[in-house]
Amino acid sequence: MIKEKSSILYSRAKKVMPGGVNSPVRAFNSVGGEPIFIKSAKGSKIIDVDGNQYIDYVGSWGPLIFGHAHPRIVEAVTRQSEMGTSYGASTELEIELAEKVVDAVPSIEVVRMVNSGTEAVMSALRLARGFTGRDKIVKFEGCYHGHGDSLLVKAGSGLASLGTPECPGIVSCLAEKTLNLPFNDAGAVSNLFQKEGADIAALIVEPIAGNMGVIPPKPGFLETLREETKKAGALLIFDEVITGFRVSVGGAQKLFGVTPDITCLGKIIGGGLPVGAYGGCKEVMDHISPVGSVYQAGTLSGNPLAMAAGNVMLDLLSESNVYDLLEEKSKRLCSGLEKNTKDLGVATQFTRVGSMFSNFFTDQVVKNFESVKTCDTEFFKRYFNGLLDENIYIAPSQFEAGFMSAIHSDNEIDQTIEASFKALKAAQS
Ligand SMILES: *Cc1c(COP(=O)(O)O)cnc(C)c1O
């Protein structure tokens, strides 16, 4: 496969951007080789600058449930751009999207739009601290919540330990306020809340972990989080930036029947444009300015292009039985992949919730970050590059989710399964 033009662009990019990229994982550091540069995309396929076509299971890291350049989203964005791309003033589009979000997500009565998932989470934490008058935040090792200072803190394994900054540039007095626990360990949560509950402003969790690969919550885990936070007067924050509108219209909270106090959204609700949102009950949300005194603002917040795309996205999701379709397609793919690994004797753990899935190259049961770290990342590296050579594009890291769209055809899925057999076989030798 020729990647000459990508290679030239990568050299140019490295001169003017750190690592040649605007988001680290795009640099292919954990899989070796050079990143491909994309020229265009349509439906389930992306096309690089050398003209290579790939079946895409990244989907822009989650937003593209209806694939790339869906005609109705393109039309809505085009139409809106002709009427202006940003006003710095209110529009009806914002209300429409807010109404759809409020309708769909059980915990949200009032919602504030921002520009990214990171911004949504940062703002939600500030709100939780402002609302409770407390400083401490609890999170889980291996959960990613964007790059806000409070959350880029390494988790200690086992018992909760006081955080030390894992990333230079984060002030220690902030990092110390972030407590880390192992995902899926309800006992550790109860112990921590028994000791420190009165100081905890919020516990934040990806209700289905998606940033260490996909790890579903154990039965009862989310319920424990709900009980313990409630008892302690702390807020429960679900970071549904990936799961919101992907696993169901109401997100993971609808799926599992556990309602948090604040929900963070992003990715899908922008239909592929930059967006984020956080919402909750009116009593909590009314602490945000201009009603309350917790300040949060944004020049491009509620941007008309993003709102136009988001509105169509949520319409598309409510019009069809897309979740059944996603389930069917994802099941077809994952059972094919699983059969391959069995036939070839490759130790692999498969996890999936609807259209988000992972295959972990380990013989350990995966339930948290500790177990995920047992994966054979060298094997993954060879597998990834094998797939790429077969024109299949998955996330360039063992610890990322795969995403199915509603328009991947059965044919493309079967092609992927065949390619994966070859890539696994090649990775074995
Ligand atoms: C992607 C992601 C974020 C960050 O969103 P950005 O738009 O990349 O800032 C936060 N939380 C979760 C769970 C995510 O997957």
Q: What's the pLDDT score for residue 410?
A: 98
Task: Give me the mean pLDDT over the 278-304 stretch.
Answer: 98
Task: Kindly report the average pLDDT of the chain as a whole number.
Answer: 95
Residue 157 scores a pLDDT above 70: no
Fold of 71-319: Aspartate Aminotransferase; domain 2 (3.40.640)
Q: What is the pLDDT of residues 51-102, one digit of tens each?
A: 999 999 999 999 999 999 999 999 999 999 999 999 999 999 999 999 999 9
Query: For residue 260, what are its two tokens?
Result: 């948090």
Distances (CA, A) of 342 to 223, 378, 381: 35, 19, 19
pLDDT at 163: 52
Fold of 4-69+320-428: Aspartate Aminotransferase, domain 1 (3.90.1150)
pLDDT digits (tens, 9 = 90+) for 311-355: 999 999 999 899 999 999 999 999 999 999 999 999 999 999 999
Which tokens is 45 given? 């396929």
Rounded to an integer, the average pLDDT of 155-182 is 70
% of the chain beyond a pLDDT of 70: 97
Residues 6+ apart with CB under 8 A from 308: 76, 77, 79, 80, 93
**Distance separating alpha carbons of residues 316 and 271, to the nearest angstrom:** 10
Banded pLDDT at 156 (limits 50, 70, 90): very low
Task: For the chain, give the percent of residues with pLDDT over 90.
Answer: 92
Question: Which residues are CB-contacts of 233 (< 8 A; sequence separation ≥ 6)?
Answer: 132, 197, 198
| Structure confidence by residue, pLDDT tens digits, 206-233 | 999 999 999 999 999 999 999 999 999 9
Domain with CATH 3.40.640.10 in the chain: 71-319
Indicate which residue's Cα is closest to atom 14 of ligand 1.
241
Mutation test of ligand 1: which of 58, 242, 265 has the most ligand atoms closer than 8 Å to its C-beta? Answer: 242
Neighbours of 146 (CB within 10 A): 19
Within 6 A (CB) of ligand 1 lie 116-118, 121, 144-146, 206, 210-211, 239, 241-242, 266, 276
So what's the pLDDT on residue 170? 86
Q: Which atom of ligand 1 is nearest to the CA of 121?
A: 10
Q: What is the pLDDT of residues 92-147, one digit of tens each?
A: 999 999 999 999 999 999 999 999 999 999 999 999 999 999 999 999 999 999 99
Please list the residue range(s) of the chain that carry CATH number 3.90.1150.10.
Answer: 4-69+320-428
Pairwise pLDDT comparison (366 vs 174), residue with the higher score? 366
Question: Of all protein residues, whose CA lies closest to atom 15 belonging to ligand 1?
Answer: 242
Q: Which of 278, 47, 49, 305 is nearest to 148 (CA)?
A: 278
| 129 touches 237 (CB < 8 A) | no
Average pLDDT over residues 36-49: 98
CA of 118 to the centre of ligand 1 (A): 6
pLDDT of residue 165: 57
Cα–Cα dist 27/37, whole Å: 10
Please report which confidence band the pLDDT of residue 162 belongs to, taking 50, 70 and 90 as the band edges: very low
Count Cα neighbours of 366 within 13 Å in the Cβ-side half-sphere: 28
